[in-house]
């Protein structure tokens, strides 16, 4: 027979075990959510670090292209202001360009996952190769070669700047 006053609410042990099970479920859900948030945060940090490394490589490539451009323009100025007979100074400028080219070659070896960046740095390094015979050429012809080199570097610098803008995070 059914008697409403005779409902069996169980004993204390049943209630404690039920409360413990409920607390375990809440704790498990909290831990799962916390781990998910931590994993998302770790992925975001890794992505930001990769973007920062890429931006640093691009900035360094832009700086190096600008440096080659400046050295080439210095060479042209040296020749145009009558420094054509100063072969040692011209040789020093060519050595400076070669040193920057080696830095670009090293920068191209920096690990990155963007083939466009890899190719653009390679083109920049390739474009700044100078002929050793430039010293022995007429000063006006050498100045023309250096003017073209400066123009190529300005173009490469612009291409790198465009590449850096393409890589900016959207948001």
- In the chain, the domains with their CATH numbers are 54-166 (1.20.120)
Nearest to 77 by CA among 147, 160, 158: 147
What does the longest C-alpha to C-alpha distance in the chain come to? 122
What proportion of the chain, given as a percentage, has pLDDT over 90? 29
Give start and end residues of each alpha helix (H) in 81-127.
87-108, 115-127
> pLDDT value at position 28?
92
Region 129-142 average pLDDT: 75
pTM value is 0.72
> pLDDT value at position 53?
86
| Residue 4 CA: distances (Å) to CA of 7, 9, 11, 12 | 6, 12, 18, 20
The mean pLDDT of the chain is: 83
Q: Could you give the angle at which helices 87-108 and 115-127 cross, rounded to 10 degrees?
A: 170
Model confidence at 125: pLDDT above 70: yes
> pLDDT value at position 13?
82
């Amino acid at each position: 027979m059914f008697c409403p006053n005779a409902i069996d609410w169980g004993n204390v042990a049943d209630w404690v075990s039920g409360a413990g099970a409920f607390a375990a479920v809440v704790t498990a859900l909290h831990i799962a959510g916390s781990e998910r948030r931590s994993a998302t945060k770790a992925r975001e940090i890794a992505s930001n670090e990769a973007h920062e490394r890429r931006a640093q490589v691009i900035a360094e490539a832009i700086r190096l292209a600008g440096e080659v451009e400046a050295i080439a323009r210095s060479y042209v100025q040296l020749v145009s202001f009558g420094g054509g007979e100063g072969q040692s100074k011209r040789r020093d400028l060519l050595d400076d360009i070669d040193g920057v080219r080696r830095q670009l070659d090293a920068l191209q070896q920096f690990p990155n996952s963007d083939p466009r960046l890899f190719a653009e740095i390679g083109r920049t390094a390739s474009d700044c190769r100078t002929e050793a015979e430039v010293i022995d050429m007429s000063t006006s012809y050498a100045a023309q070669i250096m003017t073209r080199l400066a123009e190529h570097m300005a173009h490469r610098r612009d291409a790198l700047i465009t590449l850096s803008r393409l890589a900016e995070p959207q948001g």
